[in-house]
Structure 1
Amino acid sequence: MATLSLFLSLSLLISAFNFAEPQSFIGVNYGQATDNLPPPAATVNLLKSTTIGKVRLYGADGAIIKALAGTGIEIVIGAANSEIPALASDLNSATAWVNSNVVPYYPASNITLITVGNEVLMTMDQGLISQLLPAMRNVQNALNWAFLGGKVRVSTVHSMAVLSQSYPPSSGLFNPVFQDPLRGLLEFQKDNGSPFTINPYPFFAYQSDPRPEMLAFCLFQPNSGSFDMGNRIMYTNMFDAQVDAVRSALNAMGFRDVEIMIAETGWPYHGDNNEVGPSIENARAYNGNLIAHLRSMVGTPLMPGKSVDTYIFALYDENLKSGPASERAFGLYKPDLSMTYDVGLSKTSLTPTTVTPANPSPKPTAASWCVPKVGVSDAQLQQDLDYACGQGIDCGLIQPGGACFEPNTVSSHAAYAMNLYYQTHAKNPWNCDFSQSATLTSINPSYNACIYPGGST
């Protein structure tokens, strides 16, 4: 049989999902560096119309926390870097913080995590870095005294720059400069069961290496992949590679039991003229394919069979941010609550789309199937096969004993998987591209008991 990638074998273990229900592993960042936010109640109604199961706040806005009461949506609240010195030096300050920002709202508002500081290690402020762990301990003690220990956890958020080495993923290591403070933080988090929270952005990786192949790798699109000689794994997307680099770094320090949480990841839909990568097409492709990847429950190669809790940046644009235009163009929704672009989060629109050509062909109106082009190599078709089955579609029929297992060839298995991917993704013509190795046909390729999904659109 054609050899399928790790993603395919894992995808066969996926249980059925009701995508109309909120998914606990999909979250969103709700930033407030803007002057045009809709009222909290309107935002909560928007969130309830989606499958978003988690919200991360950078602070602890009482109006937002209260508005989320009774929704079941998990809430992450934050203490700012500027609050760390007081929290570290005075247990009473930590108690007052918890009594003001957690106790009045819990459990009606489902607060699950407090992040103390944001990318503190990258400030290189040794005084602030030394105060981070004491601040986290004091907040944890305040939670314990409020009988919330084990219910609300405490963590801090890190930049990917805490790693000195992230490629290949198996060689992931933390920067020696941060080893001592990280060890103390990780010991605390291991003891209290809180996650290591990190901000991976494939967008920035593409900006530093703007080749077409790198863009496809970052957007979860068909590509030749990146083979890790250290663990003998072929990586097909940057997100998995970055997350597994963090996993490797944690393992290397002896913290295999500390879970990873993605506090931020996203892609801007607009930028300055000199910025590489921002566009609606790329943002929709990254976020839409990321969501599909999470829903597949394939996981990453080093953490298979589950989806890492992931908070997409961001719910709304933050027009008061400084820096390049891209910093103000990450919002999935506009202040009027309409979508900036559709990534399949709405309960009434669950199929994420991928990057659309500038002049997309119209959808076919007759029955259509997606099949490989004549003359495409088995190597390319194997990549297409691995990609399609790695996106969460059910490739069981091309496994041994399946109705479409015979003929046992790469081209036959790829044809079935590519068509199923196309049919599952709204029959959009650009979802039957596969790096220009596939085409649409009106001839039904079904044979014997092997039925190819298809029909008029």
Structure 2
Amino acid sequence: MASILLSLSLLAIALSLAGSFVASLSFSNYSQSFVGVNYGQVADNLPPPEATAKLLKSTTVGKLRLYGADPAIIKALANSGIEIVIGAANGDIPSLAADPNAATQWVNANVVPYYPGSKITLITVGNEILTLADEGLVPQLVPAMRNLQNALNAASLGGKIRVSTVHSMAVLTQSDPPSSGLFNPALQDTLKQLLTLLKDNKAPFTINPYPFFAYQSDPRPETLAFCLFQPNSGRVDSGNGKLYTNMFDAQVDAVHSALSAMGFQDVEIVVAETGWPSRGDSNEVGPSVENAKAYNGNLITHLRSLVGSPLMPGKSVETYIFALYDENLKPGPGSERAFGLFKTDLSMSYDVGLAKSSQQTPSTSPTAPVTPAPNTAGWCVPKAGVSDNQLQSNIDYACSQGIDCRPIQPGGACFEPNTVASHAAFAMNLYYQTFGRNQWNCDFSQTATLTSQNPSYNACVYTGGST
């Protein structure tokens, strides 16, 4: 993404965004509304389906996406309440497109025997078809989807199970800035038919944004922070002046802009895949446990905050994290085999706060994301000697993330002393306390540090300390 000017007007943006969403949902609905995982099966060491189902039920994951229609895992999730996405393979498309009876047989084999005990909600037809080298499948995609939709309708499931197809970000020819997002003109005719079908059946446009790959193409420290939802100076969309503090929102909003440019702005966007690998080959930039934990953990927190994105404020897109397990048989660089949130022995690869036992009921305050249980004592404050410009950037970033910065506004308990340093200390600490109290939450481009000295004064109370 091209370098973009820094905005110092984030507080107004943040307060506007914060006031536009409602967080008064029960925790189970709160988490399950947005967070799913992909269950890739290119491996020879996966646990039994029953063990996977038990693992999923021990988490707050509410949705599972399969790349096929594995009957064993579909049956294992019966009566679990977990929503299931199933897939028709690329190789199925020609027969599904050519013969409505083939679509009927597919639905009768892969859906009817399991629904509604197994909560199938979406069928994805093919994977990244529009950007494959095999262009022969492109004209067959929409007919295949239409025949499957008609087969669902005939089985009285049309209003309950939707049909879509999954796209890579390469379906866009322009995405920077996000407001300029455009689809590949060569695909316009197919996309118009596809989007009309989606709109008519209230089905989503599903996309695979990967900030990991964006960082690999631009491996600067500031890009890493932007991709990992970590404190950064932000990037302003030169087309509309809106500020972006993370790559995920920028990529999703570019898709929204592309949909809007074709007149389909009301079609729902679903993120079918996104994730970060925990290891890779020695020549790969970015894979590490620390980065994977930061990306996935901060993504989940961002979704649960309901802040939304600059072009879609106040709501979170349904998002499926890639992946449930590492897949030891996948080809390609080492990172391809290391996206798993869990190991195949069912232990966590790293903790991103998905275990039910590690969660608390979210605050009903419209300005507070879910606050994890504190895991360390202390407060996050600016280092000595940091410039006011950098501290103002820290304030702007922290206050754009849905935390309550009203105490440092005029009349607030922490407004006096009215200095950038004092306001920054409050905002940076509240960000650190709200988003997990991890070391990377008190970094702010190496301008922050942890202290055991309570900075509270008079009526100005800093969250933190021992619990």
TM-score, normalisation: structure 1 = 0.92
Asked whether the equivalents of residues 295 and 392 of structure 1 are also in contact (C-alpha less than 8 Å), the reply is no
**Deviation at 1:157?**
0.3
Query: Is the Cα–Cα contact under 8 Å of residues 2 and 409 in structure 1 kept in the other structure?
Result: no
How far, CA to CA, are the matches of 1:326 and 1:5 in structure 2?
40
What's the CA shift for 1:346? Answer: 1.0
Partner of 1:324: 333
Q: Which moved more, 1:147-156 or 1:225-234?
A: 225-234
Per-residue deviation, 1:222:
1.4
Cross-structure match for 1:63: 72
| 1:89 corresponds to which of 84, 98, 105 | 98
Identity %: 75
Structure-2 residue corresponding to 1:418: 428
**Closer, same or farther in 2 for the Cα pair 1:418/1:16, shift >3 Å?**
farther
Q: After superposition, what is the alpha-carbon deviation per residue over 1:301-349, rounded to whole angstroms, capped at 9, x for unaligned?
A: 0000000000000000111111111111100001110000111111123
Match of 2:81 in 1: 72
Which stretch shifts more, 154-163 or 426-435? 426-435
Q: How many residues align?
A: 445
Letter in 2 for 1:6: I
Q: 1:143 to 1:24 in 2, by over 3 A?
A: same
Alignment match, 1:304? 313
State the Cα deviation string for residues 62-116 of structure 1 (Å, max 9, x = none): 1111111111111110000000011111111100111111111111111110001
2:17 to 7, 10, 15: 10
In structure 2, runs of 5+ residues without a counterpart are 1-7, 361-373
1:3 Cα deviation from its structure 2 partner: 5.2
- The 8 Å contact of residues 20 and 350 in structure 1, kept in 2 or not, is answered as no
Q: Is the contact made by 1:222 and 1:383 (CA closer than 8 Å) also made in structure 2?
A: no
Q: Secondary structure of the equivalent of 1:4? A: helix
Q: Do residues 117 (structure 1) and 117 (structure 2) align?
A: no
How far apart are 1:14 and its partner, in Å?
4.6
Select the residue among 98, 107, 112 that pairs with 2:116.
Answer: 107
State the distance in 2 between where 1:8 and 1:62 align: 47
Please give the TM-score of this superposition, normalised by the length of structure 2.
0.90
Tell me which residue corresponds to 1:240. Answer: 249
Q: Deviation of residue 150 (structure 1)?
A: 1.4
Assess if the C-alpha contact under 8 Å between 2:10 and 2:399 holds in 1.
no
Residues 301-380 of structure 1: pairs in structure 2 closer than 5 A:
301-350=310-359, 368-380=378-390
Deviation at 1:376, TM superposition (A): 2.1
| Cα deviation code 1:353-391 (max 9, x no counterpart) | xxxxxxxxxx998x6322222332333223322333344
Q: Matched residue of 2:33: which SS?
A: strand
Work out whether residues 14 and 296 of structure 1, in 8 Å CA contact, stay in contact via their aligned partners in 2: no
Aligned partners of 2:14, 2:440: CA distance in 1, in Å? 22
Supply the distance in 2 between the matched residues of 1:160 and 1:244 (Cα, whole angstroms). Answer: 12
Change (3 A) 1:5 1:338: farther
- Letter aligned with residue 15 of structure 1: A
- Which residue number corresponds to residue 156 of structure 2? 147
State the secondary structure of the residue aligned to 1:43.
Answer: helix
Deviation per residue, 1:21-50 (Å, 9 max, x gap): 642210100111111111111111111111
Q: Using a 3 Å threshold, how does the CA distance of structure 1 residues 194 and 427 change in structure 2: closer, same or farther? A: closer
1:444 corresponds in structure 2 to 454
Equivalent-residue separation in structure 2 for 1:409 and 1:380 (angstroms): 13
